[in-house]
A and B are shown apart, each in its own frame.
With several copies, the nearest count.
Chain A
């Protein structure tokens, strides 16, 4: 299986393969990638400082996030992953809303109910994340089924890691998608690791994309560190889905440049040579080179963008830190639409205690 690539690591590109994007959009893409990179770095720092509880970074995976998100319509639905802050941002989620989630404060639309990076925003059709790996895929199939049923012209995308492909739920979801031919796109960001397990020990298949054949639809292999290739692959898949062509599995080949999460030490299970090699394939450096070659970015513009991004982050963090935590009572709501008597008793008891 061939891997789709538009821009090479050195910034050279195949003009025949360039997607049809406006210069404006290319610049926006770059800015988003920078923002995601700096967001990751900042948040990891906040975590180290104890200002947020837990964090999972997505450094190295900016292109796959931003490229694929750019290919979606506002009305499309996304079952995003914890490594998708870029997808959230591209879809319009304010930076502060993401930081609020990490701080689990009262402004978080999820009411501070989940660990960091478990995004979920109804307003932007981003479905609330959960931790168990793999279980969101069949839900995405269901949403796609429902959209098709209602004759809404939308596509449902779900993004997950290489590790997730081992779960039984991956299989069920792929199989249902093939059988019901629903407008769903499975985006596997193969970042080479599931915590410590390298992908070659996750599965014996030659790659992940080819697994789609077992379900009767197409798998596509794409360079996930190439934002234009990531865009193109997703665009083709959503166009196909939207026009009734059914599901696609995209494998975006990328690399988790950092640890698995803020609690992980990757030096235990992988070599410096390997990480150094992947640094030469950095998606941001590559896209920067491309933009400069195309005359769409200068050194000074680049510096300015970075500064803007930094300022935005600093001021957002400041704002989010001002927001109080959720109210005590909020611990008891939303278990059911209406609070049943036994939870009410518990809430009353606790509120009474704290009232004393």
Chain B
């Protein structure tokens, strides 16, 4: 066991896997000498050399395109996109190419690239260093989308992502990079992609969340407990595929659902969870399915604190659901 934060968990897990897998390559802007702007790749250049830890020119489509080509030839490229907000120059490579290679080639050319990227607000970054656009990627068949909410999950999920035969978007909650520290086992363990984690069991309301918002939900739990609401908190961990079974089971028990995410609300992934629940468990529902989400504006700067869903907003939604 070692106590570490999320960024350290990323760093160790990359290092361990690079030691194990000589075909693994890390590439991206400033990942080498600089160790990444968040330090997630610190030390890798020294240990593995510039051929395996590749500082690229400033071009996201070049990074992802090159990673795809590496992967088709048998390497395991793990690309870093400095901020999720800067992934769009590579959007064509991701949605048109990476996501479809296996399918369009009839299985001849599976492209397995892991794209790591920090996302989410809370770092005073304004709208180009704060967005959460997981829904774009979830809505793109062929991509796997994963997001951890703790150092422990980071290790287990990142390992699974790197061992998966499919392309994986690995979304890292940057606001939590250094705020949560916990024991992480030193030995290898895989957290299965597609399985949710029931963070806390409860009987009154199901609270579904993922990524950085899980932490906010956790902070809302004692507040809810104080008001005698028994909340079952589910951390989806994996957004595509997502573990609808765990959600539905919970809803059948509680009859009430709140979904919390940081992304803007309209057409966010919360809508999918809501739609799935009302498709599969409408008779169990005792209240409207409530979404707590980012407001439908570009991510603000000065007013970031009012923009981000806080434990109080979640509490309010829980109250609304439970008192309906």
Residues of A within 8 A of B (CB): 53-54, 77, 104-105, 108-115, 118, 120-122, 127-128, 130-135, 137-147, 149-150, 156, 163-164, 166-169, 171-173, 175-176, 179-180, 194-197, 201-203, 263-264, 268-269, 325-326, 328, 330-337, 340-343, 346-347, 350, 353-354
Contact with A along B123-144 (1 / 0, CB 8 A): 0111111000000000001101
Verify B30–A196 contact, CB threshold 8 A. Answer: yes
Minimum Cβ distance to chain B for residue A168 (Å): 6
Q: With A115-B129, A343-B297 in contact, is A337–B165 under 8 Å at CB? A: yes
Pick from B75, B107, B165: contact of A333, CB under 8 Å = B107
Q: How far is the CA of A133 from the CA of B266 in the complex (A)?
A: 28
Verify A168–B61 contact, CB threshold 8 A. Answer: yes
* CB pairs A–B below 8 angstroms (7 shown): A135-B96, A146-B74, A149-B25, A149-B70, A264-B37, A341-B244, A354-B306
Contacts of B75 in A (CB 8 A): 146, 149-150
Closest B-chain residue to A326, C-beta based? Answer: B302
Pick from A138, A336, A347, A353: contact of B62, CB under 8 Å = A138
Chain A binder among B4-12, B85-93, B251-259: B85-93
Q: With A132-B89, A149-B75 in contact, is A122–B109 under 8 Å at CB? A: yes
Minimum Cβ distance to chain A for residue B88 (Å): 7
Q: How far is the CA of A276 from the CA of B74 in the complex (A)?
A: 45
Closest A-chain residue to B88, C-beta based? Answer: A132
Contacts of A202 in B (CB 8 A): 57-58
B300 at interface, CB cutoff 8 A: yes
Verify A175–B59 contact, CB threshold 8 A. Answer: yes
Contacts of B71 in A (CB 8 A): 142
Q: With A131-B85, A201-B55, A268-B33 in contact, is A114–B126 under 8 Å at CB? A: yes
Q: How far is the CA of A353 from the CA of B66 in the complex (A)?
A: 42
Shortest Cβ-Cβ A-B pairs, 4 listed:
A142-B69, A138-B65, A112-B302, A131-B128
Q: How far is the CA of A114 from the CA of B109 in the complex (A)?
A: 14
Verify B57–A175 contact, CB threshold 8 A. Answer: yes
B105 at interface, CB cutoff 8 A: yes
Minimum Cβ distance to chain A for residue B24 (Å): 11
Verify B89–A139 contact, CB threshold 8 A. Answer: no
Verify A120–B104 contact, CB threshold 8 A. Answer: yes
Closest B-chain residue to A131, C-beta based? Answer: B128
Verify A142–B68 contact, CB threshold 8 A. Answer: yes
Closest B-chain residue to A149, C-beta based? Answer: B51
Verify A113–B127 contact, CB threshold 8 A. Answer: yes
Verify A346–B66 contact, CB threshold 8 A. Answer: no
Q: How far is the CA of A249 from the CA of B23 in the complex (A)?
A: 28
Q: How far is the CA of A332 from the CA of B299 in the complex (A)?
A: 10
B219 at interface, CB cutoff 8 A: no
B interface, size bucket: 35 or more
Contacts of A194 in B (CB 8 A): 29, 58
B298 at interface, CB cutoff 8 A: yes
Verify A139–B244 contact, CB threshold 8 A. Answer: no
B116 at interface, CB cutoff 8 A: no
Verify A335–B129 contact, CB threshold 8 A. Answer: no
Contacts of B73 in A (CB 8 A): 77, 142-143, 146-147, 150
Verify B37–A195 contact, CB threshold 8 A. Answer: yes
Point out which of B101, B107, B125, B164 has the most chain A C-beta atoms below 10 A from its C-beta: B107
Pick from A127, A144, A201: contact of B57, CB under 8 Å = A201
Point out which of A326, A331, A333, A354 has the most chain B C-beta atoms below 10 A from its C-beta: A331
B303 at interface, CB cutoff 8 A: yes
Q: With A114-B126, A132-B88 in contact, is A166–B141 under 8 Å at CB? A: no
Interface residues in B109-162 (C-beta closer than 8 Å to A): 109-110, 124-129, 141-142, 144
Verify B62–A111 contact, CB threshold 8 A. Answer: no
Verify B55–A197 contact, CB threshold 8 A. Answer: yes
Contacts of A203 in B (CB 8 A): 57
Interface residues in B255-299 (C-beta closer than 8 Å to A): 265-266, 295-298
Q: How far is the CA of A171 from the CA of B74 in the complex (A)?
A: 25
Verify A110–B306 contact, CB threshold 8 A. Answer: no
Minimum Cβ distance to chain B for residue A154 (Å): 9
Q: How far is the CA of A244 from the CA of B166 in the complex (A)?
A: 32
Closest A-chain residue to B95, C-beta based? Answer: A132
Verify B96–A130 contact, CB threshold 8 A. Answer: yes
Contacts of B237 in A (CB 8 A): none
Q: How far is the CA of A120 from the CA of B107 in the complex (A)?
A: 11
B102 at interface, CB cutoff 8 A: yes
Interface residues in B1-53 (C-beta closer than 8 Å to A): 25, 29-30, 32-35, 37, 51
Q: How far is the CA of A139 from the CA of B61 in the complex (A)?
A: 10
B222 at interface, CB cutoff 8 A: no
Verify A346–B296 contact, CB threshold 8 A. Answer: yes
